[in-house]
């Protein structure tokens, strides 16, 4: 019997029952022959991914609860208040992205820029935030020609209070600090969360 949340793969036996591992040939509920090797390869991939995750715990924000209000510096100067619709808007959509190192986040931010006008018609204030330092956030905005407000410097404690998944960098060139996985919050005029969507990956 193995111990801990992740089994030491060398202890697996040919023909042992494995649940939820694909692909593989199954005979009477057991993985046999070369299928065991494929399954173990898949487990190794999962193991490597999980090793790159930070085990920090965070209580998830529920719809209807108050959104934590934070004031963070924003690209271009000044401060950005999260959790309070700006101007005459009735809503604020807070989009947390992983950081400059994430190419999928760039695509997502570009799409947000494209729909900014439509969101304004619906009186939705769209803002973005990451845990990046100022220099990286400025490059993100400059390279994407973004006009949506972009805050930076989200702390680990703030990530946790938002209920976000937190990852630590794997290769040093990725980034030099823990970063949040994506999160989207739509906050109403009373400061309560109307919509929440938290992910543990950028897909």
Q: Which residue has the tokens 């823990």?
A: 178
The alpha carbon dihedral of 143, 82, 63, 59 has a sign of positive
C-beta separation of 146 from 127 below 8 A:
no
- Spatial distance between the Cα atoms of 196 and 193, rounded to a whole number of angstroms: 7
pTM, entire model: 0.71
Residues 79-117 pLDDT 10s: 999 999 998 999 999 999 999 999 999 999 999 999 999
Residues 120-145 pLDDT 10s: 999 999 999 999 999 999 999 999 99
Residues 36-69 pLDDT 10s: 444 444 444 444 444 444 445 467 889 999 999 9
- Spatial distance between the Cα atoms of 182 and 158, rounded to a whole number of angstroms: 14
- Vertex 154 angle, CA 124 and 160, to 5°: 95
- Spatial distance between the Cα atoms of 6 and 2, rounded to a whole number of angstroms: 9
The closest of 119, 112, 120, 88 to 189, measured between CA atoms, is: 88
Token pair in block for residue 112 = 């947000």
Number of helices and strands (H, E) in the chain? 4, 11
In total, the chain counts a number of residues equal to 203
């Amino acid at each position: 019997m193995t111990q801990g949340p992740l089994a030491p793969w060398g202890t697996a036996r040919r023909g042992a029952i494995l649940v939820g591992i694909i692909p593989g040939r199954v005979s009477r509920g057991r993985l046999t022959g070369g299928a065991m090797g494929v399954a173990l390869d898949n487990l190794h991939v999962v193991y490597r991914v999980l090793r790159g995750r930070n085990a920090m715990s965070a209580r998830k924000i529920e719809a209807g609860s108050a959104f934590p209000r934070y004031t963070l510096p924003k690209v271009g100067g000044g401060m950005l208040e999260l959790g309070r619709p700006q101007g005459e808007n009735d809503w604020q959509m807070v989009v947390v992205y992983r950081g400059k190192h994430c190419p999928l986040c760039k695509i997502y931010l570009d799409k947000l820029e494209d729909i900014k006008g439509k969101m304004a018609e619906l009186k939705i204030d769209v803002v973005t935030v990451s845990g990046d330092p100022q220099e990286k956030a400025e490059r993100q905005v400059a390279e994407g020609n973004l006009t949506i407000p972009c805050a930076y410097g989200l702390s680990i404690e703030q990530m946790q209070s938002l209920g976000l998944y937190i990852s630590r960098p794997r290769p040093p060139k990725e980034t030099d600090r823990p970063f949040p996985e994506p999160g989207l919050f739509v906050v109403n005029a009373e400061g309560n969360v109307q919509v929440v969507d938290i992910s543990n990956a950028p897909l």
